[in-house]
Each structure stands twice: as structure tokens, then as C-alpha cells.
Amino acid sequence: MSGLFDGLSIGLSGLNASQTSLNTTENNIANANTPGYSTQAVNLAEAPSALDIPGTRGRGVAITSITSSRDDLLEKRLRNSSSLLTFYKTTSNWLSQVETLVNEPAGSGLDSSLNNFFSSFNDLSTDPSSETARSNVANNAKTLAESFKQIDSSLSNMLTQGDSELSQNIDKANQLISSIAHINGNISNAELGGIDRANSLRDKRGELVKQLSNIVPINTYETGYKSTGQAEFALQIGGMSVISGKDFHQLKTVQVGQHNRLFYINSGGSLTDITGSVKSKSTGSVSALLNTKDIIEKYRSKLDEIAKDLMDQVNIIHTKGMGLTGYSSLASTNQVNSADTVVSSSNLPIAITKGSFDVVVVDSNGNHTTTSITINDSSTFSDVKDSLSSISGISAHIDGNNHLVVQADTGKKFFLTNDNTGFLASVGMGTFFSGDSASNMKLNPAIANDFSKIAAGLTDNAGDGQNASAIAGLSSSQVLKNGTTSITELYNSLVSDVGIDGQNYKSLKNNQQSLTDQINTERESKSGVSLNEEAAKLIKFQKAFSASAKFITVIDNLTNTILGMIR
Amino acid sequence: MRITEGMIYNNFLSNINKIDEQINNVNNEIATGRKILSPSSDPISLTKALNINSELNMFSSYTKNINTSVSNLNAADSSLQNANNELMNIKNLAIQGANGTNDSDSYNALADNVDQELELLKNIANSSFEGNIFLAEQKAINLQLQLKINRRLLYQVPVHCRQTLKYQFQSSLQIFISLQTENIQYLLMVQPQKSL
């Protein structure tokens, strides 16, 4: 049989339950916009009833737990999707920077420099004696070299930027790692009894892990039972255990060679290189940075290839022709390995084949003497030097830095021309460009100082523009890669590579964005705070609270009645 | 499905973002007047556009070259036309000289006339286009035709040019214009039709 005061405790339990539910509801509303927050709900159960005659009698309500609607599996899916999205986003952003550099089809890119360069040679071919046409060629060549250099240095700046961004990302990751480990400790303390769940801490950890996964590819699992019987949260990066419970290891970037690499700091302080495994995972911004670096390096080497091919082809044709005035002294721009090296197997940029080139010596009366110098498979540089020296009117030697130097006797000048071996272009004598890559491409100083040295003709006649015409024809003639492609085509293919990569990552990013949005919607649907729902709950619990309060008033009245009876 | 405010907000935001992005794209297209804004907007078309661009460049070079050649030929043509006229004049003078009724003063006057015509012929032979003298092919910036005193026009170029050009006016009423290179000799002979 129940006593009067039993009612008070039932009423109190009802008040408590409603109060707690109201608070939880309010907490949900307050955190409606907190990232990573999952709605919490108060789980109520009937309090253990008392056995009585004539049957069991309810003793009010009990709060069993407050649970979060957090779905770990869904969180993991969201995390994976969002880290992949960060990867595509970062890559796509970097690639669009490259696109701005290439600056096609805005018309101010390398394409227009190339076209200007070739058409200035065409102009020279129609009017070879004009000083203006010559300086125009030289200026366009300078602009072209500058364009190459500028794109190359911007690309290399991007690599440096990528390195510093990598370090910043790793600093952030390290902060997150220590925070997560710290929260792990807190969770393990909070859940010590094995009953309570530290909802807010878990939400917070989930959010931090998500942030970390957006930076580096991670692998998480709960493992290793400690004496408390709790599962322990562990996290791996690049196959190395970074977090295990409240213990953690940090990461570090170290410059190796030209660029930063990613290292894991072992307990003893020694470093383990995890760059490769992080890069191959393709999730998160760090992985994206490492991958983008490779892509940019690919572009750079292609740009170098274009610059080198362009210079080689122009130089080869240029050394077949003659300028207006001969040289009184000429040193090669490239160094030979040593005087005894066989020319056909040298270190020089262009392969030298057997054949011949001509030396034309002009005396003070303008008389021309042409001598042919033959190069065969066994000729060494000193052989060539000796052949040159044996020509009357000029002398040749190889200087201390292994440059080949030819000098004319006083009052005489000489031309080196009609080269079908590649020798002159290779050692850099009478070439148009000097350099072997985009970064060091420049107009040969000999030409920059004296435009009359531009070999516009096959002879030194002022009206001869045949060679300039041949160089102008290079723009579209298929001279590269065994005659399958031209210089402009090669450049166009670089631009299309940049475009295709950019487009690819852009569409991957967009796809991944919708996928992430979808999972996010799913997560919101499951764990998000619905204000309508909370408002309804507010009313529900408010009513319940009022009713419980009313009930206590009733008990109070009853008590008063009883007490009144005594009076 | 349980709908939360967060979902509505996110959906709204991502949709409006998508629309904004499209508007921005279209705006850029209008502002630049180009369909292909960056290599990634359409790499395949861009490659084609670049190829067409370089072809266009080639064609404009062709046009430029053709125009230059045409003006060159026109100038050469009019010079030759002028030279032809002078030669006709000389021929007429020669026919006049063939007339036996002339006295010595008349002959001298004729000779002076011929000298003047030769002077003109020399100027024509030295005419140039963009600094290049036609008759000298690629070389002749500094080579000028000299009028020789014995009524013989000799175009002497430096030895290394291996080319000589001669205008000859001989008393036998034959006018030779010969262009002599190492192996080939071009000879233009003007002769009165009536034998004297």
C-alpha cells in the first residue's frame, strides 16, 4: 500500500525528468549551429516499481542516460569524403594558379611571344638588309626568352610556396594531434565507470579528427583494452601510430634536397620518412600538395623541353647561315668535356653527326676564301681545333675552361657556316640562343651586342634572307620527336595538358562536393538539430513539468487536508 | 526523412553558390568576349584554337610576303618598262644617225642625245626597292653603275661577287645588254629592223 509521501517522490522524479529533458532540449537548440554537434536525447525509463498488494505500483520515472545521436560509421564516411574533397580542392586550386601563369587564351601568354618571334624572322627574310627588322628579331627573341624564364620561375615559386604551405599544414596537424590525444585522456577519465558516455567530448574529438583528416590521410580505430576495460582510440598516419589513447607522436617537415619532405618523429627522436605513403593515399591537403608538386615538376620539365628544342632547332639553322659581318674573334658558349673527347660522343646538348662545316675567311679587300672542315666519327675537339688553325687567316685554341676559341688575324674576319653536323650549334659558336633550359634561355650575347651577326642569309649578301625564312618556317614544320610534331604543337600540348589536368581535378572536385553534400545531408538528417522538433519537445516537456508540478500541489493539498484533520 | 534547419541552410547555400558560379562564368564570357576562359574550361577546343591561331599567323605572314613580292615586282616591272622606253629612244636616234644627210653638228647633237639617254638608263639601272638595287640581286647596296667615257656603260661589281653586268652601246647600231655571271650570259640585243 502506498503512502502519501510516495506521491511526492513520484512527482519529484517527473519534475526532474522534465527539467533534464528541457535542459537537454535547450542545449540542443543552443548548439544547433555548432559544427560536429549531434543532438542529444534524455532516455527515460519507468523507475523500478514496488511490489504491492494488489499489484506492482509505479514509483515514477528514472533518467537512464543522455545519449547522443552520433553515428560513428556515418561520421567516418563523412570524414573520408571530406578529406578526399580537400584533396581535390587543394589540387584544383593550385592547378588553376598554373592556368593563370600559362595565361592562354588571354593572348598574352607564351603563344603570342612564340608567334611574334617567328613572324619577326619572316619580316627579316623579306627585308634582310633592314636594321629595324634585325633589332625587331632580337627584341622578340629577348621577350620570348623572358616569357619562358618568367613562367619557369613562377612555377618554381609555386613549388617553394607549396613547401611552406606544407610546413604550415603540418604545424596545424601537430596541434590537432596533441588536442585529440588530450581529449582522449579526458574521455577516458569521464567514462571511467564504463557507464557514462562523454557525448560532448566525443563530438569534439570527432570534429578534430575530421579536421586532421582534411590535412593528412589518417586511419582510425579503437583498440587495446586497458585495465579500465575501456577501448582506446588510436590513429595512424602513413602507417605510423600517431595517437594511441593519450600518447601521441608528432610530425615534422624537413628540407631534403630542394624540397620539403614529411617525417614522423619516433619516441627516441629519430625520424621516419612517410612522404611516399602519405602521397599515395590521395586524401587531405598535405597529400594534395605533394602530388601537385609532381604535376608542377612535370610541367616545368616539359617547358624546359620546349625551350631546349626551340633553341636547338633555331641554332642548328642559324649556324647554317651567315650574318652581314664576320667575327674577328669567337668563343664557344658551351664547354667541351676535354680537348681529347670525340665530338660525336660528347656531353654537349645536341648530337653531333659526321659531316662538315665551312669557314669563310674575308680579307681586308673583301675577298672570300671558303674552307670546309670535315668531322668524322673519330674526330676529337683538338682535331677540329687543329683543322681550324691550319686555315690561313685564323687561329684556334681551346682555353682553360675548355671553350673553343677562334680568332682572325688582324684585318681579317671569318664566318662559320653551312654546318650539317650540328657541331657549331652544339658548342655554341655563332648560335642565335644560348642556354639549355627555360630558366637560362637567352639571346646569344654576340648577337645581342651586334644585330648584324644574325644569320639571315646563306651568304653575307645584305639582300639574302633565305636563312631567316628557314627559321620562320620552323614554327609549323614538324622537326621534333622524329618529325612528328612542331614547336608550336609541342607548346600547345603543354597548354592542353594544363587544361586537361585542371578540368579533371575541377570535375573531380565538383563530384566529390556533391557526394560530401549528400553524406552531410544524411548526417544532418540523423544527428542534426531540428529546431521544430526541439520546439515541440519544449512544449511537451513544459506541459509534463507543469503537470508534475500540479501533482505536487495536489499532494501538498492532500497533506494539508491530513494535517487539518489533526487540528 | 527528418529535415533539419542545417540541411535547409546547406542546400540553399550550395545551390545559390552553384548559380553564382554560373553567373560569374557567363559574366566573364560576356566581359572577355571569349567562350574559353582558361585552359581548363575546354582543353580540346583550346588546343584547336591555338593551332588555328598559329595557322592564322602563318597566313598573315604569307599575305605580307606576297604583298612585298608584288610591290617588288611592280617596281622592277616599271623600271624595265622605263629602260625599254629609253632603249627605244636610243634606237630611234640610231635610225636618225643612219640617215646619210646629217652633217657633223647633227651627229654631235645625236651623240649628246644618246649620252643623255644613257645617263637616264644608268639611273634606271640603279633604281632600288627598299634599299636593294634590282640588277644587283642580293648584294648591291653600294654598287653603282658607272657611266664610262667611251660611251660604254659598265657595271663593275667587286670580284668576289662573281657577277658582272654590262650595258654596251656600240657604233654598229647594236645595243647589247648583257648580264654575265660565271657560267651564264644573258644577252639582250636591240637591232634596227632595217639593215643599214
What's the CA gap between B65 and B72, in Å, rounded? 10
Chain A interface mutation, best of B2, B4, B73, B142, highest count of A Cβ atoms under 10 Å:
B4
Query: What Rg do the C-alpha atoms of chain B give, in angstroms?
Result: 36
Q: How far is CA B16 from the centre of its chain?
A: 62
Point out the residue among B4, B44, B53 whose CB comes nearest to the CB of A528: B4
Dump pLDDT digits (tens) for A152-169. 999 999 999 999 999 999
Q: Under an 8 A CB cutoff, do B57 and A115 touch? A: yes
Spell out which residues of chain A touch residue B1, defining contact as CB-CB under 8 Å.
525
For residue range B155-190, what is the model confidence (pLDDT) as tens digits?
433 333 333 333 333 333 334 444 444 443 334 343
- The DSSP secondary-structure symbol of B161 reads G
Inter-CA distances, A460 with A22, A321, A411, A549, Å: 99, 8, 17, 114
Q: pLDDT grade, residue B31 (50/70/90)?
A: very high
Q: Using CA atoms, how far apart are residues A459 and A324, in angstroms rounded to an integer?
A: 8
Beta-bridge partner residues of A234:
A221, A244
Nearest to B58 among A32, A476, A513 (CB): A476
Confidence of residue A501 (pLDDT cuts 50, 70, 90): very high
- pLDDT of A242-283, one tens digit each? 998 888 999 999 988 888 899 999 988 899 999 988 888 889
| pTM: predicted TM-score of the whole model, two decimal places | 0.80
Burial class (CB in 10 A: 0-12, 13-18, 19+), A566: exposed
Q: CB A105 to CB B47 under 8 A?
A: no
Q: Rounded distance, CA B56 to CA A475, Å? A: 12
Buried-state track A134-162, b at ≥16 Cβ within 10 A, e below 16: bebbbebbeebbebbbebbeebbebbeeb
The confidence score (pLDDT) of residue A509 equals 94
ipTM for the whole complex: 0.71
Measured CA to CA, the distance from residue A176 to residue A158 in angstroms comes to 26
For residue A358, the tally of other CB atoms under 10 A from its CB is 16
User: How does residue A475 score in pLDDT terms, banded at 50, 70 and 90?
Assistant: confident
Rounded to a whole number of angstroms, the distance from the CA of B138 to the nearest CA of chain A is: 4
At A43, the pLDDT band (50, 70, 90 cuts) reads very high
Contact (CB, 8 A) for A461 and B138: yes
A476–B54 CB contact, under 8 Å: yes
B21: pLDDT strictly greater than 70: yes
Mutate: best of B54, B55, B62, B130, partner A, most A CBs <10 A = B54
pLDDT surpasses 60 at A236 = yes
